[in-house]
């Protein structure tokens, strides 16, 4: 893979210095075909005010130039503005969005602008959410991008790179108290996303109850979710309801439940509500995660779209960008 610095250098030679492909190849030591391929690579698109973006780049000493390394959608002036607000108005006029409101929102809501760029095909993926709440950003994504065909529920999955294991949790940010139907759909979407990463999902449905030790509503909900999953996704290795330690320790589980349909340690943890999932994720991340996290990965959207959180580090943003690019390429 060619480093970003080299890609920027190649673009400068071609666009600014007007050098031929052969001359660029000679100066860089790359093949002519490689140079040609990288000149066709898409650039990142930033949404904001060009002057402010340029000032931030200078402040942090980054070697980036507009048009060469990135494109900018100027929120104060863009030739697509009229088309964008009119399209948004048609989409949301029966959701309380008047023409005047559509004009205002299309100037100030960066996620809405990004969603419209994705809807129109001007970009291939969207990352947002470094400020505000998941619900706020998801509102605009749902209005403009919508759900994938056949999907009824959005959800968020977070991953943790722990010593000796990788663990993914759902739903960390969207559904406060999901139903059994929603939990089953969320589990399947999360498992499919893990397979996209090249991982074999081993799902555990978590509860305060351990294989029928309680009949409280939350325990019953997880048992019913297991029944649905066995009907709807017979390919998925899953069991529950079970305690968290039993999920992560296959040996302990086999001693308690020798006939468990889940072998080994679980790597996909499905919790009964957003409180349990978000708290568990935050505790594990802080106590043992080493700061290496993935997500939130938005599940269920029609196009590659992900909503980060205000606590997202630069490394997490880079990781999620790479994930989004991989998702775009796999969809093509």
Percent of the chain at pLDDT > 70 equals 89
Question: Which of 171, 169, 246 has the alpha carbon at shortest distance from 201?
Answer: 169
pLDDT band at 62 (very low <50, low <70, confident <90, very high): confident
Q: CA dihedral in degrees (115, 120, 124, 128; nearest 10)?
A: -10
8 Å CB contact between 298 and 126: no
What is the average per-residue pLDDT within 285-310? 88
Distance CA 323, CA 157 (A): 13
* CATH number 3.40.50.10750 given to 155-300: yes
What is the average per-residue pLDDT within 72-81? 90
8 Å CB contact between 307 and 137: yes
Most trustworthy range by pLDDT among 16-30, 36-50, 63-77, 107-121: 107-121
Reading phi first (left if > 0) and then psi (alpha if -120 to 50, else beta), residue 18 is in left
How confident is the model at residue 271, as a pLDDT? 97
pLDDT band at 63 (very low <50, low <70, confident <90, very high): confident
Lowest mean pLDDT among 8-22, 84-98, 237-251: 8-22
Name the helix (H) or strand (E) containing 46.
strand 44-48
pLDDT band at 1 (very low <50, low <70, confident <90, very high): very low
pLDDT band at 316 (very low <50, low <70, confident <90, very high): confident
What is the average per-residue pLDDT within 206-211? 95
Instruction: Write out pLDDT tens, residues 212-241.
Output: 999 999 999 999 999 999 999 999 999 989
Q: Which position has the higher pLDDT, 11 or 236?
A: 236
How confident is the model at residue 97, as a pLDDT? 95
What is the average per-residue pLDDT within 148-174? 93
8 Å CB contact between 16 and 68: yes
DSSP three-state, residue 322: helix
What is the average per-residue pLDDT within 38-55? 82
8 Å CB contact between 78 and 52: no
Q: Which position has the higher pLDDT, 58 or 138?
A: 138
How confident is the model at residue 10, as a pLDDT? 67
- pLDDT higher than 80, residue 42: no
- pLDDT higher than 60, residue 286: yes
Lowest mean pLDDT among 88-102, 136-150, 314-328: 314-328
Q: Which CATH number applies to 78-146+304-332?
A: 3.40.50.10950
């Amino acid at each position: 893979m060619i480093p970003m610095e080299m890609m920027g250098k190649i673009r400068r030679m071609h666009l600014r210095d007007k050098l031929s492909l052969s001359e660029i190849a000679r100066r860089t030591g790359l093949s002519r075909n490689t140079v040609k391929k990288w000149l066709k690579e898409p650039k990142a698109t930033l949404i904001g005010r060009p002057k402010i973006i340029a000032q931030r780049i200078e402040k942090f000493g980054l070697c980036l130039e507009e048009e060469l390394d990135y494109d900018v959608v100027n929120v104060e002036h863009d030739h697509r503005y009229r088309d964008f607000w009119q399209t948004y108005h048609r989409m949301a006029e029966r959701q309380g969005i008047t023409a005047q409101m559509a004009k205002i929102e299309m100037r100030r809501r960066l996620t809405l602008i990004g969603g419209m760029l994705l809807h129109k095909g001007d970009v291939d993926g969207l990352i947002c959410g470094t400020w505000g709440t998941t619900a706020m950003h998801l509102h605009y994504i749902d209005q403009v991008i919508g759900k994938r065909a056949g999907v009824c529920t959005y959800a968020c999955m977070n991953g943790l790179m722990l010593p000796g294991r990788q663990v993914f949790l759902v739903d960390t940010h969207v559904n406060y108290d999901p139903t059994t139907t929603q939990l089953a759909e969320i589990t399947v979407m999360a498992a499919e996303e893990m397979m996209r990463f090249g991982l074999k999902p081993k799902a555990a449905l978590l509860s305060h109850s351990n294989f029928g030790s309680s009949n409280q509503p939350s325990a019953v909900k997880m048992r019913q979710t297991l029944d649905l999953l066995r009907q709807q996704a017979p390919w998925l290795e899953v069991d529950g309801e079970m305690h968290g330690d039993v999920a992560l320790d296959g040996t302990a589980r086999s001693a308690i439940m020798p006939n468990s349909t889940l072998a080994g340690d679980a790597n996909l943890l499905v919790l009964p509500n957003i409180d349990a999932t978000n708290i568990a994720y935050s505790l594990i991340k802080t106590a043992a995660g080493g700061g290496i996290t993935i997500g939130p990965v938005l599940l269920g959207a029609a196009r590659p779209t992900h909503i980060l959180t205000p606590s997202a580090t630069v490394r997490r943003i880079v990781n999620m960008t790479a994930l989004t690019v991989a998702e775009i390429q796999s969809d093509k």
